Amino acid sequence: MDNDVSTTPRALATEAVHAGREDLAALGLHAPPLDLSTTYPSYDTRAEAARIDEFAGTGARPDGPPVYARLDNPTTARFEDALARLEGTESAVAFASGMAALTAVLLVRASLGLRHVVAVRPLYGCSDHLLTAGLLGTEVTWTDPAGVAEAIRPDTGLVMVETPANPTLAEVDIEALAHSCGSVPLLVDNTFATPVLQQPVRHGARIVLHSATKYLGGHGDVLGGVVACDEEFARALRQVRFATGGVLHPLAGYLLLRGLSTLPVRVRAASATAAELVRRLSADPRVARVHYPRIGGAMIAFEVYGDPHAVTAGVRLITPAVSLGSVDTLIQHPASISHRIVAEGDRRAAGVSEQLLRMSVGLEDVEDLWRDLTQALSAPSGRSARPAVDGSPVPRPAVR
Ligand SMILES: *Cc1c(COP(=O)(O)O)cnc(C)c1O
């Protein structure tokens, strides 16, 4: 039966609004329930002991109530199920932030004695820092995609890449890289592309990482991270999450599940606006170079001839702020902010120049964005870095 609704694979846009919610109608609910419990009652201590043993031994999600909120949470589990469906993986495990998620991945591998990581720059500034500083007892070899196979050692536990990368939007051929990794798991940070534009597991990655703070949440009001992977790796991640405590708050899980439902619409709309801004920036004599990935997306990077600090000081509709993936447009100077923690030489070698600006395009009207951007590009350098808050007039774009 080719029209059986229960077996026909569904499109991403459909999964985005239904995954993780299939049981709701039978429960007599429409919105997902938010479970804020930190503990769960049980009058049968022997049964609880068996459930704790089962989790400690396998890392499988507990059947029924989670015993304690650090093991599992039903609301967060809905977000995890939905994200796994969108990424095409068996499982997903959510964390308090993207950095907590990366930490758990590194600890899972290091706990097996596989402390060496091969990574390709650029990565998000804090990911670069976590690996370079060796805070978790790991050691990193930086290389380009062509050097990965040669950099792998017997104690290599992970190959890590971002594509498109933060902040230069450099792209890596995931399939070719996965081939170079052999049996070493390849982690792709898919924060910028989202599963709407790219599902790395379909190209041979084993682990997909998201800063859920960005597009998955989508409204700039939730901090979270998530790892999409096979159930075997997910079990090890749940055990590390239980032991180290980097759990996602259930309210954040609720908001991230809500964010997923509009993810395809948001990403497609913002990407169309970004593509138009790229066209205009590329033709602008004040702009030296525009970086925009082949797969598209709502992130733009560009290098200006003038003072990049004058541009971030000059925007009035666009918000000068770090982070990305929100409904409104943000611009920032990576060398000063998102990648400040990376040593200057390493930053430059990875293509993060002093002239580079990174913009996360939101859902505003393209003409309003262009008007703001073009006036900011003409802003004289040395202009006040902040709009006045003392009652003196602030230049504002006319509201149409
Ligand atoms: C922001 C970001 C992270 C870190 O995520 P947090 O949620 O801020 O901890 C990791 N990777 C990329 C690509 C990011 O943009």
The residue whose CA has the least distance to atom 9 of ligand 1 is 98
Residue 2: its pLDDT value, please?
55
| Active-site residue flag, 215 | no
- Of 35, 72, 81, 189, the active-site residue reads 189
Residue 388: its pLDDT value, please?
44
Beta-ladder partners of 290: 302
| Domain annotation for the chain: domains and CATH numbers | 12-37+73-261 (3.40.640.10), 264-382 (3.90.1150.10)
Report which of 74, 72, 67, 70 is spatially closest to residue 49, judged by C-alpha positions. 67
Residue 127 Cβ inside 6 Å of ligand 1? The answer reads yes
In this structure, the chain runs to a length of 400
- In a 3-state reduction of DSSP, which class is residue 388? coil
Residue 397: its pLDDT value, please?
46
Residue 58: its pLDDT value, please?
97
Report which of 208, 216, 210 is spatially closest to residue 187, judged by C-alpha positions. 208
Q: What is the pTM of this model?
A: 0.94
Question: What is the best residue among 191, 215, 255, 338 to mutate for testing ligand 1's pocket, by most ligand atoms within 8 Å of CB?
Answer: 191
Where would I find the H helices in the chain?
A: 12-18, 24-27, 45-58, 74-87, 98-110, 125-133, 148-151, 174-181, 194-197, 231-244, 250-282, 308-314, 344-349, 366-377
Q: What is the DSSP string of 125-182?
A: HHHHHHHHHTTTS-EEEEE-GGGHHHH--TTEEEEEEESSPTTT-----HHHHHHHHT
Q: What does the alpha-carbon distance between residue 193 and residue 91 come to, in Å, rounded to a whole number?
A: 19
Residuewise pLDDT in 10s, the chain (400 residues): 456 777 788 999 999 999 999 999 999 999 999 999 999 999 999 999 999 999 999 999 998 899 999 999 999 999 999 999 999 999 999 999 999 999 999 999 999 999 999 999 999 999 999 999 999 999 999 999 999 999 999 999 999 999 999 999 999 999 999 999 999 999 999 999 999 999 999 999 999 999 999 999 999 999 999 999 999 999 999 999 999 999 999 999 999 999 999 999 999 999 999 999 999 999 999 999 999 999 999 999 999 999 999 999 999 999 999 999 999 999 999 999 999 999 999 999 999 999 999 999 999 999 999 999 999 999 888 644 454 444 444 444 444 4
- In a 3-state reduction of DSSP, which class is residue 75? helix
Q: What does the alpha-carbon distance between residue 70 and residue 266 come to, in Å, rounded to a whole number?
A: 32
290, 282 contact by CB (below 8 A): yes
Question: Could you identify the atom of ligand 1 that is nearest to the CA of residue 225?
Answer: 7
Residue 379: its pLDDT value, please?
87
Question: What is the best residue among 103, 106, 126, 221 to mutate for testing ligand 1's pocket, by most ligand atoms within 8 Å of CB?
Answer: 126
| Active-site residue flag, 189 | yes
State which amino acid sits at residue 221. D
Instruction: State the residue for tokens 């650090």.
Output: 70
How crowded is residue 4: how many other Cβ atoms within 10 Å of its Cβ? 7
Residue 382: its pLDDT value, please?
62
Q: What does the alpha-carbon distance between residue 194 and residue 73 come to, in Å, rounded to a whole number?
A: 24
Q: How far is the CA of 97 from the centre of ligand 1 (A)?
A: 8
Q: What is the DSSP string of 171-224?
A: ---HHHHHHHHTTSPEEEE-TTTHHHH--GGGGT-SEEEEETTTTTT-SS----
Question: Which tokens hold the place of 354?
Answer: 């002093």
| Active-site residue flag, 292 | no
Report which of 290, 207, 227, 230 is spatially closest to residue 94, judged by C-alpha positions. 227
Residue 317: its pLDDT value, please?
98
Residue 380: its pLDDT value, please?
87
Q: What does the alpha-carbon distance between residue 330 and residue 142 come to, in Å, rounded to a whole number?
A: 30
